[in-house]
Amino acid sequence: MQQPQRLEKKYLHPRYWLTWFGLFVLWALVQLPYPLLTRIGSTAGSLSRKVLKRRERIARKNIDLCFPGLSENEKEKLIAQNFVSLGMALIETGMAWFWSDNRVRRWFDVDGLDNLQRAQQNNRGVMVVGIHFMSLELGGRVMGLCKPMMATYRPHNNPLMEWVQTRGRMRSNKAMIDRRNLRGMVGALKKGEAVWFAPDQDYGPKGSTFAPFFAVDNVATTNGTYVLSRLSDAAILTITMIRKANNRGYRLIIEPELQGYPADDEAAAARFINKVIEKEILRAPEQYLWIHRRFKTRPVGEASLYM
């Protein structure tokens, strides 16, 4: 489990100066008033679409596959809103890492905190199913302010960024667990901890089951939720944070414990969790991470969907 460490002298080496400069710019930027930050983030996101052509193609393909019933105008609007959301994601990362607790609290409200408290009764562990909305980094900070928990993650390739992101994420949470550390996750759940886990991305064929997702029949779905459930007997619920309309901040939604999860059937469990993820995405589809190649893993013999 990863805990924040002291700044090491090696991070002052010239190889990290560009990273430090970028972090300083982000820190300085998020000192501005929030209404101004929303305009900056939205504008930057719209402009980024002109240079992130590959990501635009991926988003368009994902939306085409998931929502075939949308008109071309509706799809175009969704893609445009998605890139606005992408620009806000950078701003929200700075907010998550550098804002004070009091400033973060001013901009969100929470629905359903009692659902999490009820699920944790009698020291029972809770597997928190997360969704990759663009505001994910800030969502983790907000969750921790409501109830400090642990979260799974992929360590950053840049050691300085690993230090910075861990320090930022730990401002209101307990620990970060490498997503490959199954023993650490199960151990935390058995001790009654709440552990955030996101099963909505394509992690490759190993440890995955093909199941429907929106209008796509065979989607590689991680078996992580199924394995953790069997090994820990933890409660399962979803926590989602979405932006409110008109730049009025954020809403954290904690759903009641999931009922009827098929803990003895791997294929049924994959179908079940994908339906749960679909429901959460539909709260604000324009804020979801459509630029991720969600369908890159295909059944043997099938061609790539991202040609």
Summarised one tens digit per residue, pLDDT across range 269-285 is 999 999 999 999 999 99
CA–CA distance, 186 with 195 (Å, rounded to integer): 9
Q: Which residues contact 172 (CB under 8 A, 6 or more apart)?
A: 101, 141, 142, 143, 144, 145, 148
Both tokens of 16, joined, read 């990290």
Paired with 240 in beta bridges are: 253
- Spell out the per-residue pLDDT of the chain, length 307, in tens: 555 567 888 888 999 999 999 999 999 999 999 999 999 999 999 999 999 999 999 999 999 999 999 999 999 999 999 999 999 999 999 999 999 999 999 999 999 999 999 999 989 999 999 999 999 999 999 999 999 999 998 889 999 998 999 999 989 999 899 988 999 999 999 999 999 999 999 999 999 999 999 999 999 999 999 999 999 999 999 999 999 998 899 999 999 999 999 989 999 999 999 999 999 999 999 999 999 999 999 999 899 999 7
The rounded percent of the chain whose pLDDT value lies above 70 is 98
Q: If we measure between CA atoms, which residue out of 94, 76, 85 comes closest to residue 45?
A: 85
Structural Rg of the chain based on CA atoms: 19
Say whether 291 sits in a helix, a strand or coil: coil
Beta-strand pair 108-111/175-178: unpaired
Q: What is the pLDDT of residues 8-54, one digit of tens each?
A: 888 889 999 999 999 999 999 999 999 999 999 999 999 999 999 99
* Residues 256-267 pLDDT 10s: 999 999 989 999
Helices marked H in 33-180: 34-48, 53-66, 72-98, 101-105, 113-119, 136-146, 159-169
